[in-house]
């Protein structure tokens, strides 16, 4: 069983923020793969479904970003899910907008959602880092991630979310490279039309 976690902040004011790209990706996966409707559980919203032969729990912590680990820790503990079977999808300012990277383990690079998850389950979980770009000044990072995606961002955001939902089965199966390649091919083919 895989615990698929999208990071974001609850509420309409934050819905289209760059910080909420994790929520957006999980919503698209849940919709595309016909998971159950979300229910309130573990201080979050939980949905269940299957991707290929794997049972997947999709979780959106409703604790605000800085406390995401409380929700992730509670769900992982309840279902006895090891950190290696937790996949967290989150925004990444150190990646160019529209880029993504898969990673297992490692530091939190100052990301408060990841810092909170580290505190609750350690650092051995998997991450899908989705680039939202850097504002160029460290002092502007908070404003940058809490701003809504612009109309121009939609040209890469929607194809990226579609590609993730289309090929998430590869990531669930542990084929990070295959997943990354397929999503990149999709994005390149859309760029060239």
Residue 131: inside a domain, yes or no? Answer: yes
Active site residues: 19
Mean pLDDT over the full length of the chain: 95
- Helix H or strand E segment including 26: helix 21-32
Query: What is the pLDDT at residue 191?
Result: 67
Residue 165: inside a domain, yes or no? Answer: no
As for how many domains the chain has, the answer is 1
Two structure tokens written together for 63: 């604790």
Residue 54: inside a domain, yes or no? Answer: yes
Residue 183: inside a domain, yes or no? Answer: no
CB 102 within 8 A of CB 176: yes
Residue 178: inside a domain, yes or no? Answer: no
Distance CA 21, CA 8 (A): 7
Residue 191: inside a domain, yes or no? Answer: no
pTM: 0.96
- Helix H or strand E segment including 172: helix 154-172
The 10s digit of each residue's pLDDT in 26-66 is: 999 999 999 999 999 999 999 999 999 999 999 999 999 99
CA dihedral for 133, 69, 30, 146, sign (positive or negative): negative
Residue 167: inside a domain, yes or no? Answer: no
Query: What is the pLDDT at residue 189?
Result: 82
Place of tokens 């991707």: 51
Query: What is the pLDDT at residue 6?
Result: 98
Could you tell me the CATH number of the domain that includes residue 118? 3.40.50.1470
Domain that holds residue 16: 2-149
Rounded to 10 degrees, what is the CA torsion of 31, 32, 35, 39? -20
The 10s digit of each residue's pLDDT in 114-159 is: 999 999 999 999 999 999 999 999 899 999 999 999 999 999 999 9
Distance CA 52, CA 68 (A): 27
Residue 172: inside a domain, yes or no? Answer: no
């Amino acid at each position: 069983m895989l615990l698929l976690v999208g990071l974001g902040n609850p509420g309409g004011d934050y819905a289209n923020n760059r910080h909420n790209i994790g929520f957006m990706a999980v919503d698209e996966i849940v919709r595309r793969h016909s998971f159950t409707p979300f229910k309130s559980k573990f201080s979050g919203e939980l949905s269940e479904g299957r991707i290929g032969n794997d049972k997947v729990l999709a979780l959106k912590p409703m604790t605000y970003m800085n406390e995401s680990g409380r929700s992730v820790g509670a769900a992982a503990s309840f279902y006895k899910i090891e950190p290696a079977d937790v996949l967290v999808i989150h925004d990444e300012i150190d990646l160019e907008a529209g880029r993504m990277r898969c990673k297992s383990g490692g530091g939190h690079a100052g990301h408060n959602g990841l810092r909170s998850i580290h505190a609750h389950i350690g650092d051995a979980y998997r991450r899908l880092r989705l680039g939202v770009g850097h504002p160029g000044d460290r002092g502007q990072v908070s404003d940058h991630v809490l701003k809504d995606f612009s109309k121009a961002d939609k040209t890469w955001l929607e194809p990226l979310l579609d590609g993730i939902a289309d090929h998430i089965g590869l990531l669930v199966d542990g084929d990070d490279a295959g997943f990354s390649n397929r999503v990149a091919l999709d994005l390149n083919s859309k760029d060239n039309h």
